[in-house]
Amino acid sequence: MADNKEFDPLKQAFLDAFPNPDRVGCPDQKTLKAIGRKHLPLNHPAQIHVSGCSPCFKEVLEYQAQWQTNRRRTHILLAVAGLLSIAALAKWWETKIYNVPTQTVASHVALPSPQKRVIPEVATLVALNFHQIARQRGADAVRVEKAQHIPARLVTLNITLPIGSDDGQYQVEIRTRDNQVFKRASGSSRIENGNTVLTVPNLELSSIPAGHYLLFFHHADASWRHASILIDEPPSDLKGHQ
Ligand SMILES: [Zn+2]
Protein backbone atom coordinates (compact mmCIF):
# COMPACT_ATOMS: atom_id res chain seq x y z
CA MET A 1 0.00 0.00 0.00
CA ALA A 2 1.24 3.46 -0.86
CA ASP A 3 0.39 4.89 2.58
CA ASN A 4 3.44 3.09 4.07
CA LYS A 5 5.76 5.24 2.06
CA GLU A 6 3.94 8.51 2.51
CA PHE A 7 4.84 10.73 5.43
CA ASP A 8 2.07 10.55 8.01
CA PRO A 9 2.41 13.34 10.62
CA LEU A 10 0.05 11.60 13.04
CA LYS A 11 2.04 8.38 12.85
CA GLN A 12 5.26 10.31 13.29
CA ALA A 13 3.83 12.05 16.37
CA PHE A 14 2.87 8.69 17.88
CA LEU A 15 6.37 7.33 17.28
CA ASP A 16 7.84 10.03 19.51
CA ALA A 17 5.02 11.01 21.85
CA PHE A 18 5.12 8.14 24.36
CA PRO A 19 8.69 7.07 25.05
CA ASN A 20 8.90 3.99 27.26
CA PRO A 21 12.62 3.07 27.36
CA ASP A 22 12.11 0.47 30.11
CA ARG A 23 9.18 -1.05 28.23
CA VAL A 24 6.98 -0.94 31.28
CA GLY A 25 3.80 -2.96 30.85
CA CYS A 26 4.61 -3.87 27.22
CA PRO A 27 2.89 -6.94 25.79
CA ASP A 28 5.05 -9.76 24.43
CA GLN A 29 6.22 -9.97 20.83
CA LYS A 30 3.53 -12.51 19.89
CA THR A 31 0.77 -10.12 20.98
CA LEU A 32 2.36 -7.19 19.13
CA LYS A 33 2.59 -9.31 15.97
CA ALA A 34 -1.08 -10.24 16.34
CA ILE A 35 -1.93 -6.53 16.49
CA GLY A 36 0.21 -5.88 13.39
CA ARG A 37 -1.72 -8.62 11.57
CA LYS A 38 -5.03 -7.17 12.77
CA HIS A 39 -5.84 -10.36 14.64
CA LEU A 40 -6.78 -8.65 17.90
CA PRO A 41 -9.94 -6.63 18.54
CA LEU A 42 -9.52 -2.88 18.91
CA ASN A 43 -10.72 -2.98 22.53
CA HIS A 44 -8.08 -5.57 23.52
CA PRO A 45 -5.95 -4.27 26.49
CA ALA A 46 -2.77 -4.67 24.40
CA GLN A 47 -4.27 -2.41 21.69
CA ILE A 48 -4.98 0.19 24.34
CA HIS A 49 -1.39 -0.12 25.61
CA VAL A 50 0.06 0.29 22.11
CA SER A 51 -1.90 3.49 21.60
CA GLY A 52 0.07 4.97 24.52
CA CYS A 53 3.52 3.39 24.01
CA SER A 54 5.79 4.60 21.19
CA PRO A 55 8.21 1.61 21.16
CA CYS A 56 5.28 -0.84 20.96
CA PHE A 57 3.63 1.29 18.29
CA LYS A 58 6.88 1.22 16.27
CA GLU A 59 7.09 -2.59 16.55
CA VAL A 60 3.47 -2.98 15.52
CA LEU A 61 4.10 -0.83 12.43
CA GLU A 62 7.07 -3.02 11.50
CA TYR A 63 5.07 -6.25 11.91
CA GLN A 64 2.26 -4.72 9.91
CA ALA A 65 4.64 -3.83 7.05
CA GLN A 66 6.13 -7.38 7.08
CA TRP A 67 2.70 -8.94 7.09
CA GLN A 68 1.50 -6.80 4.18
CA THR A 69 4.62 -7.63 2.14
CA ASN A 70 4.13 -11.37 2.80
CA ARG A 71 0.49 -11.14 1.94
CA ARG A 72 1.25 -9.36 -1.33
CA ARG A 73 3.88 -11.99 -2.13
CA THR A 74 1.40 -14.78 -1.40
CA HIS A 75 -1.17 -13.15 -3.66
CA ILE A 76 1.36 -12.90 -6.48
CA LEU A 77 2.38 -16.56 -5.97
CA LEU A 78 -1.24 -17.66 -5.97
CA ALA A 79 -1.91 -15.69 -9.15
CA VAL A 80 1.15 -17.22 -10.85
CA ALA A 81 0.16 -20.71 -9.67
CA GLY A 82 -3.33 -20.09 -11.04
CA LEU A 83 -1.97 -19.03 -14.42
CA LEU A 84 0.36 -22.03 -14.53
CA SER A 85 -2.41 -24.49 -13.77
CA ILE A 86 -4.62 -22.89 -16.42
CA ALA A 87 -1.76 -23.27 -18.91
CA ALA A 88 -1.25 -26.91 -17.87
CA LEU A 89 -4.96 -27.60 -18.20
CA ALA A 90 -5.05 -25.99 -21.62
CA LYS A 91 -2.06 -28.07 -22.72
CA TRP A 92 -3.68 -31.27 -21.44
CA TRP A 93 -6.92 -30.40 -23.20
CA GLU A 94 -5.12 -29.63 -26.45
CA THR A 95 -3.28 -32.98 -26.28
CA LYS A 96 -6.53 -34.81 -25.56
CA ILE A 97 -8.44 -33.13 -28.38
CA TYR A 98 -5.87 -33.01 -31.17
CA ASN A 99 -3.57 -35.95 -30.56
CA VAL A 100 -5.57 -38.31 -32.75
CA PRO A 101 -3.30 -40.58 -34.80
CA THR A 102 -3.92 -40.57 -38.54
CA GLN A 103 -2.82 -43.25 -40.96
CA THR A 104 0.32 -44.33 -39.21
CA VAL A 105 0.64 -47.07 -36.66
CA ALA A 106 0.89 -45.47 -33.29
CA SER A 107 1.56 -47.16 -30.02
CA HIS A 108 0.66 -46.33 -26.47
CA VAL A 109 4.10 -46.35 -24.94
CA ALA A 110 4.15 -47.49 -21.35
CA LEU A 111 6.54 -45.34 -19.35
CA PRO A 112 9.29 -47.45 -17.85
CA SER A 113 8.88 -47.58 -14.11
CA PRO A 114 11.77 -48.49 -11.84
CA GLN A 115 9.88 -51.10 -9.79
CA LYS A 116 8.20 -52.76 -12.74
CA ARG A 117 10.54 -54.50 -15.13
CA VAL A 118 7.68 -56.16 -16.99
CA ILE A 119 5.95 -53.65 -19.23
CA PRO A 120 2.22 -54.47 -19.18
CA GLU A 121 0.85 -55.17 -22.62
CA VAL A 122 -1.02 -52.16 -23.89
CA ALA A 123 -3.06 -52.36 -27.05
CA THR A 124 -1.37 -50.72 -30.01
CA LEU A 125 -3.67 -48.14 -31.56
CA VAL A 126 -4.03 -48.76 -35.28
CA ALA A 127 -5.86 -46.33 -37.54
CA LEU A 128 -7.41 -47.83 -40.67
CA ASN A 129 -9.14 -45.94 -43.42
CA PHE A 130 -11.96 -47.74 -45.21
CA HIS A 131 -13.40 -44.45 -46.33
CA GLN A 132 -12.87 -45.21 -49.99
CA ILE A 133 -14.22 -48.76 -50.24
CA ALA A 134 -17.28 -48.98 -52.43
CA ARG A 135 -20.56 -50.59 -51.43
CA GLN A 136 -20.29 -54.33 -52.13
CA ARG A 137 -23.00 -56.71 -53.10
CA GLY A 138 -22.80 -59.63 -50.69
CA ALA A 139 -19.81 -61.01 -48.92
CA ASP A 140 -18.44 -62.75 -51.99
CA ALA A 141 -17.56 -59.63 -53.91
CA VAL A 142 -13.84 -59.31 -53.42
CA ARG A 143 -12.53 -55.95 -54.39
CA VAL A 144 -8.95 -55.23 -55.16
CA GLU A 145 -7.77 -52.38 -53.02
CA LYS A 146 -4.65 -51.52 -51.15
CA ALA A 147 -4.49 -53.71 -48.06
CA GLN A 148 -4.03 -51.84 -44.85
CA HIS A 149 -1.46 -53.04 -42.37
CA ILE A 150 -2.16 -54.33 -38.87
CA PRO A 151 0.62 -55.68 -36.65
CA ALA A 152 0.13 -59.19 -35.21
CA ARG A 153 -0.29 -58.14 -31.59
CA LEU A 154 -2.87 -56.75 -29.19
CA VAL A 155 -4.41 -53.84 -31.05
CA THR A 156 -7.22 -51.35 -30.76
CA LEU A 157 -8.55 -50.55 -34.21
CA ASN A 158 -9.83 -47.11 -35.11
CA ILE A 159 -11.52 -47.63 -38.45
CA THR A 160 -12.81 -44.77 -40.56
CA LEU A 161 -15.81 -46.44 -42.21
CA PRO A 162 -17.07 -45.81 -45.75
CA ILE A 163 -19.02 -42.63 -46.38
CA GLY A 164 -22.58 -42.80 -45.09
CA SER A 165 -22.01 -45.64 -42.58
CA ASP A 166 -24.28 -45.59 -39.56
CA ASP A 167 -23.02 -45.04 -36.08
CA GLY A 168 -23.71 -47.57 -33.32
CA GLN A 169 -22.74 -51.17 -32.64
CA TYR A 170 -20.80 -53.18 -35.22
CA GLN A 171 -19.71 -56.78 -35.49
CA VAL A 172 -16.27 -57.36 -36.87
CA GLU A 173 -14.67 -60.53 -38.23
CA ILE A 174 -11.23 -61.22 -39.54
CA ARG A 175 -11.47 -63.90 -42.20
CA THR A 176 -8.97 -65.67 -44.37
CA ARG A 177 -9.24 -65.39 -48.15
CA ASP A 178 -11.18 -68.68 -48.20
CA ASN A 179 -13.73 -67.25 -45.77
CA GLN A 180 -12.59 -68.95 -42.56
CA VAL A 181 -13.38 -66.74 -39.58
CA PHE A 182 -10.20 -66.20 -37.65
CA LYS A 183 -11.38 -63.67 -35.12
CA ARG A 184 -14.71 -62.19 -34.04
CA ALA A 185 -15.07 -58.94 -32.19
CA SER A 186 -17.45 -56.07 -31.72
CA GLY A 187 -17.09 -52.35 -31.44
CA SER A 188 -19.02 -49.16 -31.55
CA SER A 189 -18.81 -46.28 -33.96
CA ARG A 190 -19.43 -42.59 -33.68
CA ILE A 191 -19.52 -39.70 -36.11
CA GLU A 192 -16.38 -37.54 -35.98
CA ASN A 193 -16.02 -34.55 -38.30
CA GLY A 194 -18.48 -36.09 -40.73
CA ASN A 195 -16.71 -39.49 -40.72
CA THR A 196 -18.01 -42.62 -39.03
CA VAL A 197 -15.20 -43.98 -36.89
CA LEU A 198 -15.49 -47.51 -35.53
CA THR A 199 -13.39 -48.45 -32.51
CA VAL A 200 -12.68 -52.12 -31.88
CA PRO A 201 -10.88 -52.29 -28.55
CA ASN A 202 -8.30 -54.84 -27.42
CA LEU A 203 -8.27 -57.20 -30.35
CA GLU A 204 -5.73 -59.95 -29.69
CA LEU A 205 -3.98 -60.74 -32.97
CA SER A 206 -0.66 -62.04 -31.67
CA SER A 207 -1.58 -65.65 -32.58
CA ILE A 208 -2.62 -64.82 -36.15
CA PRO A 209 -0.07 -65.80 -38.84
CA ALA A 210 1.18 -62.90 -40.95
CA GLY A 211 -0.50 -62.53 -44.32
CA HIS A 212 -3.50 -61.25 -46.24
CA TYR A 213 -6.94 -61.29 -44.62
CA LEU A 214 -10.30 -59.65 -45.02
CA LEU A 215 -11.78 -57.51 -42.33
CA PHE A 216 -15.56 -57.87 -42.35
CA PHE A 217 -17.80 -55.47 -40.52
CA HIS A 218 -21.49 -54.94 -40.27
CA HIS A 219 -23.96 -52.72 -38.54
CA ALA A 220 -27.17 -54.27 -37.17
CA ASP A 221 -29.18 -52.65 -39.95
CA ALA A 222 -26.83 -53.39 -42.82
CA SER A 223 -25.17 -56.25 -44.66
CA TRP A 224 -21.57 -57.35 -44.20
CA ARG A 225 -18.93 -55.29 -45.93
CA HIS A 226 -15.22 -55.89 -45.99
CA ALA A 227 -11.80 -54.55 -46.82
CA SER A 228 -8.40 -56.13 -47.35
CA ILE A 229 -5.92 -56.11 -44.53
CA LEU A 230 -2.38 -57.31 -44.19
CA ILE A 231 -1.32 -58.74 -40.85
CA ASP A 232 2.35 -57.96 -40.30
CA GLU A 233 4.84 -59.59 -38.01
CA PRO A 234 4.85 -57.41 -34.91
CA PRO A 235 7.62 -54.90 -35.61
CA SER A 236 10.22 -54.52 -32.89
CA ASP A 237 10.38 -50.80 -33.52
CA LEU A 238 7.07 -49.29 -34.51
CA LYS A 239 8.58 -45.90 -35.27
CA GLY A 240 10.34 -47.12 -38.38
CA HIS A 241 7.20 -48.80 -39.62
CA GLN A 242 5.21 -47.75 -42.70
ZN1 LIG B 1 4.83 -0.79 25.21
- Ligand 1 centre from 5 Cα, in Å? 24
Instruction: Inform me whether the pLDDT recorded for 44 exceeds 90.
Output: yes
CATH architecture designation of domain 124-239? Sandwich (2.60)
- Ligand 1 centre from 48 Cα, in Å? 10
Residues 11, 16, 21, 22, CA torsion sign: negative
pLDDT reported for residue 84:
87
- Ligand 1 centre from 26 Cα, in Å? 4
Which of 24-28, 32-36, 94-98, 209-213 is least confident?
A: 94-98
- Ligand 1 centre from 69 Cα, in Å? 24
Give Cβ neighbours of residue 209 (< 8 Å, ≥ 6 apart): 152, 231
Q: Which residues surround ligand 1, an ion (CB under 5 A)?
A: 26, 53, 56
Mean of the per-residue pLDDT values of the chain: 82
- Ligand 1 centre from 41 Cα, in Å? 17
Residue (of 161, 181, 182) closest to 170 by Cα position:
161
Give Cβ neighbours of residue 123 (< 8 Å, ≥ 6 apart): 108, 154, 155, 156, 201, 202, 203
pLDDT reported for residue 135:
58
Residue 57 main-chain phi, psi, to 5 deg: -60, -40
pLDDT reported for residue 25:
94
Instruction: Inform me whether the pLDDT recorded for 185 exceeds 90.
Output: yes
Residue 156 main-chain phi, psi, to 5 deg: -115, 120
The reported pTM is 0.46
Model confidence band, residue 87 (pLDDT cutoffs 50, 70, 90): confident
Model confidence band, residue 115 (pLDDT cutoffs 50, 70, 90): low
Distinct helix (H) and strand (E) counts, the chain? 4, 9
Residue ranges covered by each domain of the chain:
9-96, 124-239
- Ligand 1 centre from 216 Cα, in Å? 91
pLDDT reported for residue 91:
82
pLDDT reported for residue 112:
55
pLDDT reported for residue 140:
45
Give residue-wise pLDDT tens across range 48-76: 999 999 999 999 999 999 999 999 999 99
- Ligand 1 centre from 72 Cα, in Å? 28
Taking residues 105-112, report their average pLDDT: 53
